[in-house]
Amino acid sequence: MEVRTRFAPSPTGFMHLGGVRTALYNYLYAKKNHGKFILRIEDTDQERYVEGATDVIYDTLRACGMEWDEGPDKGGDYGPYVQSERKPLYLPYAKQLIEKGAAYYCFCTKEELDERRAAAEARGEVFKYDKHCLNLSKEEVQAKLEAGTPYVIRMNCPTTGESTYDDEVFGHLTFPNDTLDDMVLIKTDGMPTYNFANVIDDHLMGITHVMRGMEYLSSTPKYNMLYNAFGWEIPQYVHLTTVMRDAHHKLSKRDGDAYYSDFIDKGYLKEALINYLALVGWNPGDDREFFTMDELIEAFDIKRLNNAPGIFDTDKLTWFNAEYIRKLPFDEYLKMVTPWFDKALAGKQFDYKRLAELMQSRTEVFNRVPDMVRFLVEMPEYDLDLYNNKKMKTNPDVAKESLTLVKPVLEGIEDWSEANIHDTVMAAIAESGKKNGAVLWPLRIAISGLASTPGGAFEIAYLLGKEETLRRLNSSMEKLSKDA
């Protein structure tokens, strides 16, 4: 049997991280078993359809390295792969269910349903459709159909007994049938509901493993009733736990941590994001943490999926990202960091190559880069306490002496290269008898205004250029004299 998995998103906007992980697990399982990964667009809910969202799905999956074997833009033996284009398929299947007694026409209006729902809520009950239209005679149903009365087609669920099924993650599950609602299969506009279309499509497309979010656990008994009514083989179920921000909170759009694009826009690498996301709800069975896509395919095993919520720890993702950035070829890092340098340094001439060399090992997320280099164009206000450094044995008084020493040395440098600045200043320090740190720490503070910078005093002086370095040095020396 060929393994066939599917990812069936709705084109309603950006790709949620939970959806990306669902796609990833489907992709990994199909490839691990030399099967097929199918992309199907489920757009039956036209009210929530967002223009361009299908392209977002395509672009996200491809960017993540999850190329599908069959889908809307590729075709295949089981198309079309967009549900709205499959509309003519569904009504005949619904009518088959009506003939079997497994479904029925419902002519209740929205107003009538709202009234019954309100009455149920007033009684403190959860509203379920009361099978009102199931009791209509064939003649009454036919008369309403001929009169053009709007209708939906509902599933006829049993009200007694239990339904059970096995899930690869959650094991053997049992649901009392009296909790099941007679869900709508075909809406008044003739479109199928998601609940009906996904069963029909999964069967017709030969899907062998249905991997989806655990929110469908309680709906699955109804899906199985449909499979059984048609006499179809039920696929294997793999319900995935929710991706959570912490033990009590889901990822949210408001907090900017719900969508794949949120993290890409912040400057996380897609490789780091996919690697980390794979581990949110699955473990490889050993201490390995870093995987290429091919290595994930080789290691993936649905038996190692967790049945507890997956916690998406942004700090851990950031650590992953920093490790991936450090491993980037330098030319690739330079290309990626340049737009972020531009955000802070646009219009100013700096040696981006040298700055990138200093920044690569310090970069955790690219959107943090502008704040880390902005001091090159905007000298921050700083407190004289920065000159206090126990390790370097410096304080404001020591700083005044050291800066007085180094100022004429810097003024006398004609070849303003980093190597020449280093050699000239180090020679002057040696000649003075001072400790290196007693001069270089105050110099770093004086020309950067920061205790932590990419590179030390020599690198900063080179990047700033002679004129700006001396301007900042003079300003800092005035500040020391004034506040002494």
CATH of the domain at 22: 3.40.50.620
The tokens for 306 are 């967790």
The parent domain of residue 356 ranges over: 330-376
User: Which H or E run contains 106?
Assistant: strand 103-106
Contact 81, 39 (CB under 8 A): yes
Residue 319: inside a domain? no
Q: What is the C-alpha to C-alpha distance for residues 120 and 211, in angstroms, rounded to an integer?
A: 34
- pLDDT at position 57 is 96
Q: What is the C-alpha to C-alpha distance for residues 243 and 150, in angstroms, rounded to an integer?
A: 40
Q: Do residue 222 and residue 349 come from a single domain?
A: no
Half-sphere exposure (CA, 13 Å, Cβ side) for 161?
A: 5
Q: In angstroms, how far is CA 465 from the centroid of its own chain?
A: 41
- pLDDT at position 362 is 97
Q: Do residue 166 and residue 292 come from a single domain?
A: no
Q: Do residue 214 and residue 172 come from a single domain?
A: yes
Q: What is the C-alpha to C-alpha distance for residues 415 and 421, in angstroms, rounded to an integer?
A: 8
Q: Do residue 345 and residue 404 come from a single domain?
A: no
Q: 10 Å Cβ neighbour count for 398?
A: 20
| Percent of the chain whose pLDDT exceeds 90 | 91
Q: What is the C-alpha to C-alpha distance for residues 22 and 291, in angstroms, rounded to an integer?
A: 18
Residue 322: inside a domain? no
Amino acid (1-letter code) at residue 59? D
Q: What is the C-alpha to C-alpha distance for residues 185 and 357, in angstroms, rounded to an integer?
A: 60
The tokens for 265 are 């826009």
- pLDDT at position 256 is 67
Q: Which residue has the tokens 């790709």?
A: 15
471, pLDDT greater than 70: yes
- Given 182, 215, 240, which residue is the final one in a domain? 240
Q: What is the C-alpha to C-alpha distance for residues 464 and 479, in angstroms, rounded to an integer?
A: 20
253, pLDDT greater than 80: no
Q: What is the C-alpha to C-alpha distance for residues 110 and 124, in angstroms, rounded to an integer?
A: 21
Residue 76: inside a domain? yes
Strands (DSSP E) found in 144-208: 152-155, 162-167, 171-176, 184-186
Reported pTM: 0.92
Contact 55, 28 (CB under 8 A): no
439, pLDDT greater than 90: yes
Q: Do residue 127 and residue 194 come from a single domain?
A: yes
Q: Is the torsion defined by CA of 37, 41, 44, 47 positive or negative?
A: positive
- pLDDT at position 149 is 97
Q: In angstroms, how far is CA 162 from the centroid of its own chain?
A: 38
Q: Do residue 27 and residue 8 come from a single domain?
A: yes
The tokens for 110 are 């929205």
Please give the residue that has the higher pLDDT: either 261 or 247: 261
Counting runs of H as helices and runs of E as strands, what totals does the chain give? 19, 11
Q: What is the C-alpha to C-alpha distance for residues 344 and 352, in angstroms, rounded to an integer?
A: 12
CA angle 106, 110, 114 (to 5 degrees): 115
Residue 320: inside a domain? no
- pLDDT at position 47 is 76
Residue 270: inside a domain? yes
Pairing between β-strand 162-167 and β-strand 171-176 as defined by DSSP bridges: antiparallel
Residue 53: inside a domain? yes
- pLDDT at position 313 is 94
Q: Residues 6 or more apart from 51 whose CB is under 8 A from it?
A: none
CATH of residue 426: 1.10.10.350
Amino acid (1-letter code) at residue 202? D
User: Which H or E run contains 55?
Assistant: helix 53-63
Number of domains making up the chain? 4
Q: Do residue 216 and residue 249 come from a single domain?
A: no
46, pLDDT greater than 80: no
For residue 82, what is the DSSP state? B
- Given 262, 282, 314, which residue is the final one in a domain? 314
Q: Do residue 43 and residue 77 come from a single domain?
A: yes
Q: Do residue 291 and residue 427 come from a single domain?
A: no
276, pLDDT greater than 90: yes
Residue 325: inside a domain? no
**Average pLDDT score over residue span 76-87:** 94
Q: Residues 6 or more apart from 129 whose CB is under 8 A from it?
A: 106, 108, 113, 154, 181, 182
Q: Do residue 95 and residue 223 come from a single domain?
A: yes
For residue 193, what is the DSSP state? P
Q: 10 Å Cβ neighbour count for 118?
A: 11
Of residues 82, 86, 64, the one with CA closest to residue 73? 82
Q: Which residue has the tokens 């087609």?
A: 153
Supply the mean pLDDT for the chain: 95
Contact 200, 90 (CB under 8 A): yes
Catalytic residue set: 253
Q: In angstroms, how far is CA 67 from the centroid of its own chain?
A: 18
Radius of gyration of the chain (CA): 32
How would you write 238-297 as a 3-class SS string? EEECCEECCCCCECCCCCCCCEHHHHHHHCCCHHHHHHHHHCCCECCCCCCCCCCHHHHH
Q: Do residue 92 and residue 236 come from a single domain?
A: yes
Q: What is the C-alpha to C-alpha distance for residues 253 and 242, in angstroms, rounded to an integer?
A: 15
- pLDDT at position 484 is 58
**pLDDT tens digits along 292-320:** 999 999 999 999 999 999 999 999 999 99
Of residues 262, 258, 207, 261, the one with CA closest to residue 237? 207
Q: In angstroms, how far is CA 250 from the centroid of its own chain?
A: 13
Residue 115: inside a domain? yes
For 336, the 3-state DSSP assignment is helix
Contact 46, 213 (CB under 8 A): no
Model confidence band, residue 248 (pLDDT cutoffs 50, 70, 90): confident
**pLDDT tens digits along 315-355:** 999 999 999 999 999 999 999 999 999 999 987 889 999 99
Q: Do residue 90 and residue 155 come from a single domain?
A: yes
